[in-house]
Structure 1
Amino acid sequence: MKVAISLLVLLVFGLSCSSEPAITKEMLDGGTLFDPSLYKPEEYLLSKAIPNPTPEQARRPVIIACHGYSATTFEWDEFRSWSAGRSDFYLSRVLLGGHGRSYDDFKKSTWHDWQAAITTEYEQLVKAGYQNISLLGSSTSGALLMELVASGYFANRLAPRNLLLVDPIVIPSDKSLSLIGVVGPMIGYIATDQSAAEDKVYYHFRPQETLQQLQNLLGVVRNDLEKGVTLPANCTLKIYKSKKDPAADPVSAVLMYRGTTLADGSPVDVQMVDSELHVYTRLQLREGVTDKDRQNQTATFTDIVTRVLR
């Protein structure tokens, strides 16, 4: 999830605006650009690339990478590039349901639809015989993965070896998101301040229906964490959290730490990262990227792979 324009400001100005955004064909929203995984799924999904693995391939670690709200598989492009040429693990990049298509497709989607793309790939890999699967999620995918654990999805399935969450969101930095149920129907959508290049891989306009879905999901996860979430046996959790995240309040990591334990009762691992970016592992198309940002990205990619290969 990227930084949202304050809903309070939009309420003031939005009442006189059209309920439909001015979408151009150069935007992902327009329905002429689509996430490339829809055209060539075998280049993104391991289940399509190697549907019938050999015994050796089936034992090789797999990382399923899942992006955030309003994003696309682009969010993990740099991890793919960084790991290119490696043969000690597989990377499968999932496009969340309803994403990477038109504004209308996005508008109609629910958080259950977003999540279903993750479980579909997971189940196909398990059915194919892959034995060592880890789940990597950024932003809203962190909440989607936590909900899977809390709901008991893995109770009667092969459990993931690792949950690896980059800037997971439980509490938004913009607290006005809590008002979306009241002001959303009046404003219709919000527009984000992003570059034309980002418009091709992130939705420029966020339908209020999807913001309500996001708010509903976060409410479910907060409730789960208050009750306490226990990870499946032999599954670990590592949270990488930017200290000054403009979209996901750093207290999100605190809530996950307090509300989640390993199967043996041990605490989960949280690393606070010296960054002011949301999903700091994505640097492409961003302005003002520093050497520190690049160091944070490389260190996190290295740690993710190290944990998966243990």
Structure 2
Amino acid sequence: MSTKNIFIKLLLILSLFFAACSDSPEIDNETMLDGDQIFDPSLYNPEQYLVSLSIDNPSSTQKNKSVIIAVHGYSGSTFEWDEFRAFSAINADILISQVLLGGHGRTYEEFKKSTWKDWQKPIMAEYNALREKGYTNISFAGSSTACPLVLNLIKEGSIGDNGMKNIFLIDPIVIPSDKTLTLVGLVGPMLGYFEATNTTIESNYYYRFRPQETLNELLDLIDKVRKDLQKGYKLPTGTQLKVYKSIKDDVADAVSAVLIYKGLKNSDNLPINIEMLHSELHVVTRLNGRDDVTQKDRNIQQQVFEDMLMRLMQ
């Protein structure tokens, strides 16, 4: 029997099997972000998370202070940058906006119908609001999917010359580690959603169920960013970028860092800064809620935080 015929029969079997499955997951509303009772806290108290809302009339000193827009990844929430905020409060005098991606931090159904452009909108909304209030020292920190979202903004010219001082990319995903993700378009409609393994704490801050529609959006985003990087482009004048990439993690292939290094240059055509971390965690800047966190993990996290703050205060 030919390989093609075997593949077709396998698809038929899968189709019949999953046809009997519900495309709506069983959600525990009391314990899961996916439900209708737990929401991201920034939706209730946005002024506690966004600098543009927390300070009505910034002084000239505040306008010149370093302010960083910190953005989480796909299926996550503002929780992802809580540890950086806590570390910075003790070790630096900076302002932090923790931005919630569009469609996130709400119910499963709201997440399901969101697009990657929806995810991106709050980033630009906060950036523009800070600019309008006169802040002059704005930087960006993104983890995982937040990285291709901001890379797309750079490519599209949404962030102009001298508009952003530093960009920090934590485990950017351009090439996924799990190559079966590319099959989402094929089997996704049959499955409806994919289930992640979250700890009890993580279930409050990360979606356990990933709608196939949003995974297709993620694939569309990283495919676009990959093609742009293959063509090559430059950072705006006055912007420095550094990538912190785990040598091995189960979400973002290390090749992602290579593609960014090859495809993105500083405005003077010099290479950008890449630091490979001896870690197997995806987004080591977030350790809270994980199982089996080691002292090595905490040391790497502190090293990254200290390096970021050093660059912000230069």
Scaled by the length of structure 2, the TM-score of the pair is 0.93
Shift of 1:177: 1.2
Which structure carries more relative contact order (alpha carbon 8 Å, separation 6+)?
1
Checking the alignment, whether the CA contact within 8 Å between 1:135 and 1:160 is kept in structure 2 is yes
Q: Corresponding residue for 1:82?
A: 87
Q: In 1, distance between residues paired with 2:56 and 2:176? A: 38
Render the CA deviation track for 1:188-221: whole Å, top value 9, x for unaligned.
0001111222111000000000000000000110
Aligned: 1:54 with 2:59: yes
Scaled by the length of structure 1, the TM-score of the pair is 0.94
Aligned structure 1 segments of 4 or more residues deviating by more than 2 angstroms:
11-16, 85-88
Shift of 1:181: 1.4
Aligned: 1:137 with 2:137: no
Q: In 2, distance between residues paired with 1:73 and 1:234? A: 28
Aligned: 1:154 with 2:159: yes
Superposed counterparts of 1:103-118, under 5 Å: 103-118=108-123
Shift of 1:85: 4.4
Checking the alignment, whether the CA contact within 8 Å between 2:199 and 2:291 is kept in structure 1 is no
5+ unaligned residues in a row in structure 1: which ranges? 1-7
Aligned: 1:206 with 2:210: yes
Q: Helix, strand or coil for the counterpart of 2:201?
A: helix
Q: Corresponding residue for 2:257?
A: 253
Q: Corresponding residue for 1:289?
A: 293
Q: In 2, distance between residues paired with 1:128 and 1:51? A: 9
Q: Corresponding residue for 2:222?
A: 218
Shift of 1:46: 0.3
Checking the alignment, whether the CA contact within 8 Å between 1:126 and 1:158 is kept in structure 2 is no
Letter in 2 for 1:252: S
Q: In 2, distance between residues paired with 1:285 and 1:154? A: 34
| Number of residue pairs aligned between Structure 1 and Structure 2 | 300
Distance 1:233 1:139, change over 3 A: same
Render the CA deviation track for 1:109-155: whole Å, top value 9, x for unaligned.
10001000100000000000000000000000001010000111123
Aligned: 1:68 with 2:73: yes
- Rg: which structure is higher? 2
Which of the numbers 280, 286, 294 marks the counterpart of 1:276?
280
Render the CA deviation track for 1:49-80: whole Å, top value 9, x for unaligned.
01321111100011110000000000011111
5+ unaligned residues in a row in structure 2: which ranges? 1-10
Q: Cα RMSD over matched residues?
A: 1.4
Q: Helix, strand or coil for the counterpart of 1:196?
A: coil
Q: In 2, distance between residues paired with 1:15 and 1:286? A: 34
Q: Corresponding residue for 1:191?
A: 195
Q: In 2, distance between residues paired with 1:50 and 1:189? A: 40
Identity %: 52
Checking the alignment, whether the CA contact within 8 Å between 1:60 and 1:89 is kept in structure 2 is yes
Q: Helix, strand or coil for the counterpart of 2:70?
A: strand
Aligned: 1:243 with 2:247: yes
